[in-house]
A and B are shown apart, each in its own frame.
Chain A
Amino acid sequence: MSAAMDTESTYSGYSHYSGHSKKAHRQGRDRHKSPRSKDGSRSEKSVTIQTPPAEPLLGNDASRAEEGQDDNWGETTTAITGTSEHSISQEDIARISKDLEDSVGLECKRYLGLTVAAVLGLLVFLTPIAFILLPQILWRDDLEPCGTVCEGLFISVAFKLLILLIGTWALFFRQPKADIPRVFVFRALLLVLIFLFVFSYWLFYGVRILDSKDTNYQGIVQYAVSLVDALLFIHYLAIVLLELRQLQPMFTVKVVRSTDGESRYYSLGHLSIQRAALVVLENYYKDFTVYNPALLTASKSRAAKHMAGLKVYNVDGPGNNASGQSRAMIAAAARRRDSSHNELYYEEADHERRVKKRRARLVVAVEEAFTHIKRLQAEEQQKAPGEMMDPREAAQAIFPSMARALQKYLRTTRQQQYHSMESILQHLSFCITNNMTPKAFLERYLNPGPTLQYDRDRWFSKQWTLVSEEAVTSGLQDGIVFVLKCLDFSLVVNVKKIPFIKLSEEFIDPKSHKFVLRLQSETSV
């Protein structure tokens, strides 16, 4: 069975589903080829499939966002225009939904797996009961009477089945939380094992008991009890294989985001590559700061300036020496004395200063705003002074005094697209309700948080592809590298084995800690 899986997985690890959406997005990008002429320095962008796709999109997104801003909050929220290259226009949506219907095969695959498991489970559960009841139904008169031992066995069968039911419910009845590309090997193995097991029991039962109409009822009941015992042991095996084995950490994986180099380390046990990818993704949403394309424009414009300054002329005739040309460019660029490092240094210093200034203004504004609100105690509430407000109204009352400072700060740190006015008001009323200080309110805006904190529309990362040179159902090994790609960036995962630690013991007698004064030390020269 594993051989069949191996031949299957010599293909790439791309899943069927993501193939469709990639096609749709690629076609979407193709159509919007005309470069924006708003900013002269951005005219070097051109949209082709071979170049890294993130380049023109991000520049466009940022430039459009900055121009759309004015002091009115309404216009600075996330505006999905019909012609933006990054969002999806109507035709794209229609095409994607059509693709979804085509790929209903994948949904079928998942539900097929579930139904097979459910049917098998039901069959397995009813088998011992059938074993006990069938002789009663078919040849009741020939059976020996059931003594006390036999009836005791009935009780034990009943309770063991109950325990098995509860255990199976606890272990297997869970919402599937992910769609993985290949079959989960251990689960499939267990299902096959159970099937073979029950099948062989039925075979034996059919041949030796039904055909020969055995009259020893106690023996039949004991046979059913042995089946239930064996099922409990298989359940134990399932727990060990599916849950316990991967708990002990054996590997450390390093996850690096390709766009800005943010990295984290996680500890994993013995998992298959696809399950390790699942763990990494689950942790990605809570550990990594949210992907912000607006932060990447600076390095791209720098890179463009490097290459834009040099042109290559071929004076030796029509030979097409491409590698020679690029080498000549690299050498010339290295020799050229450009001062872009200077620019970068001063730009960064300037930016930091600006951010700190705006942050100081923001903190002061928010602190002032919060002083205008006072919580009414229960007794005071009954006295009913002029205006009692609920949290939402209170938030709306103090928001204008801090709105400008907050908006300026968000624009400086390029986070303005992640926070709409509505979300800020909600957060403010939440903080007021829970007696939070201004600093606690600001925590969300001063530092970019993990992806989970933000609205789903701004995630940029919902559809993942696992790219791996090894089969995705094979286990983790030292040195494996796989990549989790989504549309805009990818996570490169590097697996390293936790080293074998040699720990030895040394005993120090507490009485052996003795000291002496250091006198003149004498050195011979």
Chain B
Amino acid sequence: CYFIIFSFQQRIEIHKLRQGDNLILGFSIGGGIDQDPTQNPFSEDKTDKGIYVTRVTEGGPAEVAGLQIGDKIMQVNGWDMTMVTHDQARKRLTKRNEEVVRLLVTRQSLQKAVQQSMMS
């Protein structure tokens, strides 16, 4: 009985929702090259200083688009997010003149492959 862990990349397109004066995406990010990577619960490698999704609001645009908690954001609209500070990441996501953001995310999937094959 063993698990196979693999990660795959997914492209997610989120349409921002207008709330008053702001455009919101409906999730929270954590991480960045100026933050402490050992505190990140979602990363596999505790030296990974990338940007991770820490929370997804229910019914928000991010959930609708298929973003999940624990995803690591690799690119936003073509901009690299693996070596940015926390504030830079926030700014890239919340540009006022962009209504759509296209994210490239990496997700770890824990596949209980062997169990399934054992059951079948």
B90 located at the interface, meaning its Cβ lies under 8 Å from any Cβ of chain A in the complex? yes
Given A525-B93, A525-B94, the answer on whether A520 and B27 have CB atoms closer than 8 Å is no
A521 in contact with B93 (CB, 8 Å): no
On chain A, the residues within 8 Å of B28 by CB distance are: 522-525
Give A340 Cβ to nearest chain B Cβ, in Å: 46
On chain A, the residues within 8 Å of B93 by CB distance are: 525
A517 located at the interface, meaning its Cβ lies under 8 Å from any Cβ of chain B in the complex? yes
Chain B minimum-CB-distance residue to A517: B36
A520 in contact with B90 (CB, 8 Å): no
Query: Quick one: CB contact mask for A272-284 with B, threshold 8 Å, 1 for yes?
Result: 0000000000000
On chain A, the residues within 8 Å of B39 by CB distance are: 519-520
A518 in contact with B29 (CB, 8 Å): no
CA of A355 to CA of B111 in the docked complex: distance in angstroms?
79
CA of A523 to CA of B27 in the docked complex: distance in angstroms?
9
B27 in contact with A524 (CB, 8 Å): yes
> Contact check: which of A517, A518, A519, A523 meets B90 at CB < 8 Å?
A523
The 30 sampled A-B contact pairs (Cβ below 8 Å) are A518-B35, A518-B36, A519-B36, A519-B39, A520-B31, A520-B35, A520-B39, A520-B40, A521-B30, A521-B35, A522-B28, A522-B30, A522-B54, A522-B55, A523-B28, A523-B29, A523-B86, A523-B90, A524-B24, A524-B27, A524-B28, A524-B55, A524-B57, A525-B24, A525-B25, A525-B27, A525-B28, A525-B29, A525-B93, A525-B94
CA of A524 to CA of B24 in the docked complex: distance in angstroms?
9
Query: Quick one: CB contact mask for A486-521 with B, threshold 8 Å, 1 for yes?
Result: 000000000000000000000000000000011111
Give A387 Cβ to nearest chain B Cβ, in Å: 75
On chain B, the residues within 8 Å of A520 by CB distance are: 30-31, 35-36, 39-40, 54
Closest 7 CB pairs of A and B: A524-B28, A520-B30, A525-B93, A519-B39, A520-B39, A522-B30, A525-B25
CA of A518 to CA of B37 in the docked complex: distance in angstroms?
11
CA of A365 to CA of B60 in the docked complex: distance in angstroms?
81
Chain A minimum-CB-distance residue to B16: A525
B residues 48-76 in Cβ contact with A at 8 Å: 54-55, 57
Give A521 Cβ to nearest chain B Cβ, in Å: 6
CA of A426 to CA of B36 in the docked complex: distance in angstroms?
70
Chain A minimum-CB-distance residue to B57: A524
Chain A minimum-CB-distance residue to B86: A521
CA of A519 to CA of B28 in the docked complex: distance in angstroms?
15
Since A521-B35, A522-B54 are in contact, a sample of 12 more A-B pairs with Cβ atoms closer than 8 Å, ordered by chain A residue number, is A517-B36, A519-B35, A519-B36, A519-B39, A520-B31, A520-B54, A522-B29, A523-B29, A523-B86, A523-B90, A524-B24, A525-B27
Chain A minimum-CB-distance residue to B23: A525
On chain B, the residues within 8 Å of A523 by CB distance are: 28-30, 86, 90
Q: Which residues of B contact A (CB under 8 A)?
A: 24-25, 27-31, 35-36, 39-40, 54-55, 57, 86, 90, 93-94
CA of A378 to CA of B57 in the docked complex: distance in angstroms?
94
Chain A minimum-CB-distance residue to B60: A524
Chain A minimum-CB-distance residue to B94: A525
Chain A minimum-CB-distance residue to B28: A524
CA of A522 to CA of B57 in the docked complex: distance in angstroms?
14
CA of A521 to CA of B36 in the docked complex: distance in angstroms?
9
On chain A, the residues within 8 Å of B30 by CB distance are: 520-523
CA of A524 to CA of B17 in the docked complex: distance in angstroms?
14
On chain B, the residues within 8 Å of A524 by CB distance are: 24, 27-29, 55, 57
CA of A522 to CA of B40 in the docked complex: distance in angstroms?
11
Give B109 Cβ to nearest chain A Cβ, in Å: 23
A525 in contact with B55 (CB, 8 Å): no
On chain A, the residues within 8 Å of B57 by CB distance are: 524
Give A47 Cβ to nearest chain B Cβ, in Å: 67
Chain B minimum-CB-distance residue to A518: B36
Chain B minimum-CB-distance residue to A523: B90
A residues 399-430 in Cβ contact with B at 8 Å: none
On chain A, the residues within 8 Å of B27 by CB distance are: 524-525
> Contact check: which of B31, B35, B90 meets A525 at CB < 8 Å?
B90
On chain A, the residues within 8 Å of B55 by CB distance are: 522, 524
Chain A minimum-CB-distance residue to B27: A525
A residues 312-332 in Cβ contact with B at 8 Å: none
Chain A minimum-CB-distance residue to B25: A525
Give A514 Cβ to nearest chain B Cβ, in Å: 19
CA of A392 to CA of B90 in the docked complex: distance in angstroms?
77
CA of A404 to CA of B110 in the docked complex: distance in angstroms?
89
Q: Which of A518, A519, A522, A525 has the most CB of B within 10 A?
A: A525
On chain B, the residues within 8 Å of A525 by CB distance are: 24-25, 27-29, 90, 93-94
CA of A517 to CA of B38 in the docked complex: distance in angstroms?
12
CA of A520 to CA of B27 in the docked complex: distance in angstroms?
15
CA of A519 to CA of B29 in the docked complex: distance in angstroms?
13
On chain A, the residues within 8 Å of B35 by CB distance are: 518-521
Give B102 Cβ to nearest chain A Cβ, in Å: 15
Give A115 Cβ to nearest chain B Cβ, in Å: 81
CA of A428 to CA of B35 in the docked complex: distance in angstroms?
65
CA of A521 to CA of B28 in the docked complex: distance in angstroms?
10
CA of A524 to CA of B29 in the docked complex: distance in angstroms?
6
CA of A452 to CA of B54 in the docked complex: distance in angstroms?
74
CA of A518 to CA of B54 in the docked complex: distance in angstroms?
17
CA of A525 to CA of B29 in the docked complex: distance in angstroms?
7
Give B60 Cβ to nearest chain A Cβ, in Å: 10
On chain B, the residues within 8 Å of A518 by CB distance are: 35-36
On chain B, the residues within 8 Å of A517 by CB distance are: 36
On chain A, the residues within 8 Å of B36 by CB distance are: 517-520
CA of A410 to CA of B27 in the docked complex: distance in angstroms?
73
Give A516 Cβ to nearest chain B Cβ, in Å: 12
Chain A minimum-CB-distance residue to B54: A522
CA of A517 to CA of B55 in the docked complex: distance in angstroms?
22
A residues 274-308 in Cβ contact with B at 8 Å: none
On chain B, the residues within 8 Å of A521 by CB distance are: 30, 35, 86
CA of A524 to CA of B54 in the docked complex: distance in angstroms?
9
CA of A524 to CA of B39 in the docked complex: distance in angstroms?
18
